[in-house]
Structure 1
Amino acid sequence: MLTNSEWLGINELSLLIHGTDTIRDMQRYFLEALRNIVPFERAAFFLFHEETGGLLVLQSPFCIHMNPEIVKAYGRLVNTNGICRRVISLRRTMAYRSSDLVTPDEEVTDSVTEVRKSFLLPNEVSFYSGIVLADDRKLLGEVVLYRTDRQRDFTDNEMEILDRLKDHLAIRLRRERKECQVQQHEKDQEESQLIAMGLTPRESEIASLVMKQYSTEDISRHLVISQCTTKKHLHNIFAKLGVSSRLQLMEAIRTWERARE
């Protein structure tokens, strides 16, 4: 049975999950706050991107006391190891712990041995637990908590805490993914319109950022190109659209868009 302080922690974490502005900040604040009611020594919170063929790519990881190489190793195991894929392959939101994943008959199998030799032992991990996050059988992300021999296995109470939080996390990630999809669709539409005006895809990206009033420095930083390259693209854009300033460029694009409505 959960204590009053644990219920209070769950309520505070639920508010944090839904109320934090960015996903990156939510990942960080969630792990830091979770540690107060479910202690751990290492942790990772990452998002999933599923490529054609089912390959899972770990994105935007936020880690506590973990080397990025450890996360890469886990990313490989998620795609190749039967034990690591056991929960992932269910494609539903759920909390789990390692001691529930492996039966006594599986203790000496190749899958278990590989996980121990290539991941658990080198990182001094004795117990791990986590939450798989999914929506409509689409994988969204995962929270993984690790403990060494200095801590015991995750208790039933701690698993109930994770279980109470899992749906809040899945809802937040689902909302974020849908918002990103809408934004990407709007971006694609805008850039396709600019391409129809005679600009290249890169020029369309830059023109789109000009419409959002990005400075030359901001555009260069956003696209990871030099300011000199940005200026060359802007010169070509001005020449193609017959304008000589950013204001004229913006008005030309707006005029073209009105004519297409």
Structure 2
Amino acid sequence: MYLTGKQTQLLGSIMQTLAEPHEEQEIREIMGDLVMQLLGAQFYASYVWQPDSLSFAQPTQINMDPINLRAYESYYQFHDPITPLMQRYQVAVRATDVLAIEDLKKTEFFNDFLNKDGLYWGVNLYAWHQGQNLGDMRIWRDKRRDNFTPDEMRLLDMLQPAFVTALARAQRPTQRHEVQLNTLSQRLTPREQDTARFVMLGMPDKEIARALSISSTTVRTHLENAFRKVGVSNRAALVHKLRN
């Protein structure tokens, strides 16, 4: 696979972004701009699947009409011949991989939704983690350009593991506040309590460091202080003490 100098730089920027602590929607927004540049695309949207309502929500978009997207959310996503098929894939997938372009052009979805913004060639990438769809990237070109190539698909597949990890990590700070500590935790400072909660969620030191925007060395310091104050010598014992 040949990469231009610009593509190599963009790949580095993308991987650096995905390694940094960001909010979930912020990740999807930043990725949209960078991936559009990487693939020479013109349009981008991203949603999060809601299993309770069987619908996509929490949109972010670039170069797409917000009014048209609201119509997608209220109507067209429920009359969409391609996205439910594309969502089944664990790798990047083109719209034409699930439905021929000539057949897509005959549909209401194409003529009344995609065509309004000029979307013609599309590729989707879904972030699946432990059976949950954490978010997606929907990247499109207009008809004046070519369909996405196999090499471009491989580029997206290279990014997928880091994209999934970043979205999963972004959800954990919210989960942290749902972890209840017992009265022993009152011996700990607020930062030590946060570190302990992440330990109880099963996170390793490097992920805790990213989530709290501190170094791994500082994480170890917080943990050692917590061990000493609670009277334990390891992570498993700390979790047991703070839960019971």
The answer to whether the Cα contact below 8 Å between 1:10 and 1:164 also exists between their aligned partners in 2 is no
Match of 2:172, SS state, is helix
Residue matched to 2:148 = 154
Equivalent of residue 135 in structure 1, options 129, 135, 146: 129
Residue matched to 2:208 = none
Residue matched to 1:3 = 3
- Alignment length, in residue pairs? 180
2:22 pairs with 1:21: yes
Quick one: which amino acid aligns to residue 71 of structure 1? L
Residue matched to 1:56 = 55
Equivalent of residue 160 in structure 2, options 151, 160, 166: 166
Quick one: which amino acid aligns to residue 166 of structure 1? Q
Quick one: which amino acid aligns to residue 94 of structure 2? R
The answer to whether the Cα contact below 8 Å between 1:94 and 1:131 also exists between their aligned partners in 2 is yes
Match of 1:21, SS state, is coil
The answer to whether the Cα contact below 8 Å between 2:86 and 2:95 also exists between their aligned partners in 1 is no
1:111-122 mapped onto 2 (5 Å cutoff): 113-122=107-116
Residue matched to 1:86 = 85
Distance 1:36 1:79, change over 3 A: same
Residue matched to 1:245 = none
The answer to whether the Cα contact below 8 Å between 1:93 and 1:170 also exists between their aligned partners in 2 is no
The answer to whether the Cα contact below 8 Å between 2:27 and 2:166 also exists between their aligned partners in 1 is no
The percent of aligned pairs where both chains have the same amino acid is 19
Equivalent of residue 70 in structure 1, options 47, 68, 71: 68
Match of 1:121, SS state, is helix
Alpha-carbon shift at residue 176 of structure 1 (Å): 2.1
The answer to whether the Cα contact below 8 Å between 1:98 and 1:127 also exists between their aligned partners in 2 is yes
Q: Which runs of 5+ in 1 are unaligned?
A: 191-260
Q: If the length of structure 2 is used for normalisation, what is the TM-score?
A: 0.63
**How far, CA to CA, are the matches of 1:38 and 1:114 in structure 2?**
27
Quick one: which amino acid aligns to residue 67 of structure 2? E
Q: If the length of structure 1 is used for normalisation, what is the TM-score?
A: 0.60
Deviations 1:174-221 (A, max 9, x none): 2222332333x25xx69xxxxxxxxxxxxxxxxxxxxxxxxxxxxxxx
Give the RMSD, CA atoms, in angstroms: 2.7
Residue matched to 2:35 = 34
Quick one: which amino acid aligns to residue 86 of structure 2? V
Larger radius of gyration: 1
Match of 1:131, SS state, is strand
The answer to whether the Cα contact below 8 Å between 2:21 and 2:170 also exists between their aligned partners in 1 is no
The answer to whether the Cα contact below 8 Å between 1:45 and 1:142 also exists between their aligned partners in 2 is yes
**How far, CA to CA, are the matches of 1:46 and 1:141 in structure 2?**
6
Q: Which runs of 5+ in 2 are unaligned?
A: 182-243
Match of 1:35, SS state, is helix
Distance 1:2 1:66, change over 3 A: same
Deviations 1:226-246 (A, max 9, x none): xxxxxxxxxxxxxxxxxxxxx
Deviations 1:73-128 (A, max 9, x none): 4434444434221022x2x5421111212148xx548x961321221222221111
